[in-house]
Every structure is written in structure tokens, then in C-alpha cells.
Copies of this chain bind each other. A is one copy, B any other.
Amino acid sequence: MKDNKNITSRDVDFAKWYNDVIFNADLIDYSSVKGSMIIRPYGYAIWENIQSVLDKKFKELGHVNVQMPMFIPESLLNIEKDHVEGFAPEVAWVTHGGNTLLDERMCVRPTSEVLFCDHYKKIIKSYRDLPLLYNQWCTIVRWEKETRPFLRSREILWQEGHTMHATEEEAKEETLRMFKVYEDFQKNYLALPVIVGKKSDKEKFAGAEETYTIEAMMYNGVALQNGTSHYFGQKFTKAFDIKFLNRENKWEHPYQTSWGVTTRMIGAIIMTHGDDYGLVLPPNIAPIKVCIVPIKETDEVKECIKYLEDGLKANDITFITDHSDKSAGFKFAEAEVKGYPIRIEIGPRDLERGEVTLVRRDTREKITINKIDAIYNIKTLLIDIQHNLYDTAEKRRNSMLYNDVKTYEELKDIALNKPGFALVNWCGNQECEDKIKDELGLKSRCIPTNHDISDGNCVVCGKEGKVKIYFGKQY
């Protein structure tokens, strides 16, 4: 029997709570394939909603979808030095086709920069061919040793944008434009109060000149890198000798970007909004926004169900009606564990007064209203829930942001005792960054976009600070 007693409290054991929510809400299942997960229908429906919103946005901005091969021959992976060093240790190698040993082994793509470059080299000839704004929805493979549903998996569903431009300015603009698309999407649809900024050189994507990152903070104060946008400059286009005739009729290497988000975002939703009763989904991304629960299916209740279903359909509000013969209590718990934003309880007694009860998932507050007003109330409530989830998450996050850390001792105290992110002045040297990681277990998150100017000395070495940068524990 499924009830919320199966869920460990998130304040008792957050990791166990996370898995309990995922399995009780039927989001994923383990498989016989170690390190890979099965994304079950309810989990996949969330991903389909994410895809649909982002794909539309990408296309509005002029991007088109393509499909590249899933394999990368070893020699192709080896062309860009930093890139291969970053990825070769964690790829899956195909060595045989049927019973035949391959002449050259191939890896399953861990990301597709080299495949896109290989293609771009053939199709880019003139500035007239630029920009090329390509995107791909696909699965990638990274041979992780430790895996965790949605957060770290050997197979990852994602999208990867790869664009080529005639000028540095335009490519940098694209990097930031798509970065902003991610930020807006995560704020407005996933209700995640993300922190945005630039990665340190050490934490950059293998091969990138600049990496911009979306950093989400989970309920337990741990960071989740939740999307990145990279500016490559001419690094790959030189390595792959991709050239175009520019407006001055001279050969030039184009300027490149790539950007991606993954199913990891579903992990962020769970760990930001979920509670001890299960999943809590922001209405703007929930596959099912309303769950109708009849307490007892009398004729009057049936008539009311029909009335509400018609109203929801007419307003494009997705719903399910739980007609099962389970107890009302069980159905309520089930609706909570699945995180449906609103539950409507319809009982014969309330109906005598023309009333039904709306229960909002975020606050679990009950609102008894006349059924005539139900659809209007649901529409406003969905908007309210979306905002409330964001606000609640933002308040919690702010309570775990330490933006005034001046000394290494303070930073150490945070690392040991206070979950969250600490903003410190930094000289920019990797040695200092490494020391914080090795001694305190904190990794640099990002140099935040809005307050990146140092106002003091480096928290580690005491030399002049160059930037402010967040540190935090990470998934």
C-alpha cells in the first residue's frame, strides 16, 4: 500500500527522502543496466513539458533541430586537446560491431562538439552561411562511477545547442542570450530562484573559453549546476580548421557556442519544492495540474465531476479523476505524493450546500468554495501556487546565502556548520580555489553576474581580490 509513511522526513535523511519521493511518485525505476535509470511515464511527462517549452523558445529565436551520430570515432574525439582530456576518462567505448572488432573504437557521445565541428567544416564556406543555430535533443553517456537518479546518471537526456558565428561579438551575445533563456525558464516555469554567473577557469567546460552557469540551491543548501552556456571562441574551429570567407573576402575561423540543460532539472524541482508528503510540482510544468477526488460517487457527485471536468477542459487545464475504489485517505495521500498542484475533494455532504473543497499542494491549505466558482478559483490558485513556490524557495535560499564572508575562518565555519553558498573575494588563482576545495570541501560555484567586483582581499591568500565568487558543496 502506498501512503506517505513510506517517505523519510527530508530533515532526517535528505538523500533517502529524495529517493523515497522519486520512487513513490513513480518518476523512475532502476533497471538491470547499472547506472542507467528508466524514466517512467509520469517522470517522462515532466521532461516532455520541459522540452516543449524550451523547443518552442529555441525555434522562436531562429534555432533548428538536427540529429548527429551517437558515436564518436576515437580520432575525432582526439582533435581538441582540452576536450579529450576532459571527457576521455568517462566515455563508453564500442569496440565490436556484431562479431567483428572495429578498426577504430568509438565512444558513445558524452557531448557533441566534435561531431558538430566535423559537420560544420563541410557546410560553412562563407559569411552568408552564418550564423548556424543548431540544436539537438538526444541522450548522452558519461561513465559515472556513482550515480543518483536525475542528478548523475550514465545516460543523460538533454538538449545541446551548437552555434557558429561570423564574429566574436555575435557568438558572445548568443552565449548570453541562451543563458538568459535558461535562467528565465528555470525561474518562471520551474520556480527555481537560481544564481547565475561565470565559472572559474578550473570549473569551465573542457575546451571552453568561458562557461556561464545556472546554480540552483537545493533544500539542504547543496548546489546543483543546472544548465550551462559556453563560449568557445575559435578554439575548436582552429583545431578543426573550419574557415569561412568573411565580408572582407578573407579566410577566418568562425566563433562558436554551445549550451545545454538536462533531466537534472527534474532533480532540482524535486529537491527545491518537495516536502515530507512527496513531490510538489510547479503548475507551469506539472503534467497534471488538478486531481479530482470523489469521496463517494453518488449521482450528485458524478454530475459535479462532469461539470468540473468540462470546465477544466474548456480552460486547457490538465487533470485526472481518481475513480479507484481506494479509500479517500489513500487517494489524498496519492495525490500529494504525485505533487498535483491542486486537489478537488467532492463529497455528498458538501455538495448539498453546492460546495467542493480545493486543497493546494504547496501549503496543503483547504479552501471550501461554491462549485460554480471552482474553475475561476483554480485558475487564480495555480498562478498563486507558482508564485508561492518561487517565493518560498527564494526565502529559504536567501537564508543560506552568506554574502559577507571576509575571512577564511568564517568560510571554514560555514563549510563545517552552515549549509549554503558563501560569497568571498578571490584573487583569481587556482591555488586558492584548490585549497578551499581540498581543506573545506567547497567547490567554486560561479562569479555572480550582478555583483562580481571584489571589495576586499582574497579570502585565502590575502592578496588583492579580483572578483567575488560563490563557494558551496555540490551534487
Q: List the B side residues contacting A97 at CB < 8 Å.
A: 90-93, 143, 154
Q: List the B side residues contacting A108 at CB < 8 Å.
A: 70, 94, 108
Q: List the B side residues contacting A122 at CB < 8 Å.
A: 29
The complex places the Cα of A67 from the Cα of B32 at a distance, in Å, of 14
Task: Tell me whether A48 and B65 are in contact (CB under 8 A).
Answer: yes
Flag whether A33 is at the interface (Cβ < 8 A): yes
Flag whether A176 is at the interface (Cβ < 8 A): no
The residue on B at minimum CB distance from A64 is B41
Flag whether A99 is at the interface (Cβ < 8 A): yes
Interface residue ranges of A42-86 to B (CB < 8 Å): 44-45, 47-48, 64-73, 76
Number of interface residues of A (CB under 8 A): 52
**B-contacting 9-mer, from A133-141, A212-220, A329-337, A448-456:** A133-141
The complex places the Cα of A392 from the Cα of B141 at a distance, in Å, of 46
Task: Tell me whether A44 and B32 are in contact (CB under 8 A).
Answer: no
Task: Tell me whether B65 and A31 are in contact (CB under 8 A).
Answer: no
Flag whether A95 is at the interface (Cβ < 8 A): yes
Flag whether A118 is at the interface (Cβ < 8 A): yes
Q: List the B side residues contacting A91 at CB < 8 Å.
A: 97-98
Quick one: copies of this chain in the complex? Answer: 2
22 A-B pairs with CB atoms under 8 Å apart are A29-B122, A31-B68, A32-B118, A33-B72, A33-B106, A36-B70, A37-B69, A38-B69, A38-B115, A39-B66, A41-B66, A44-B64, A44-B65, A45-B65, A69-B155, A71-B155, A88-B98, A92-B96, A93-B96, A94-B94, A95-B96, A97-B143
Task: Tell me whether A44 and B72 are in contact (CB under 8 A).
Answer: no
Task: Tell me whether B94 and A32 are in contact (CB under 8 A).
Answer: no
Task: Tell me whether A93 and B90 are in contact (CB under 8 A).
Answer: no
Task: Tell me whether A115 and B70 are in contact (CB under 8 A).
Answer: no
Task: Tell me whether B94 and A92 are in contact (CB under 8 A).
Answer: yes
Task: Tell me whether A139 and B70 are in contact (CB under 8 A).
Answer: yes
The residue on B at minimum CB distance from A88 is B98
- What's the least CB distance linking A221 to chain B, in Å? 30
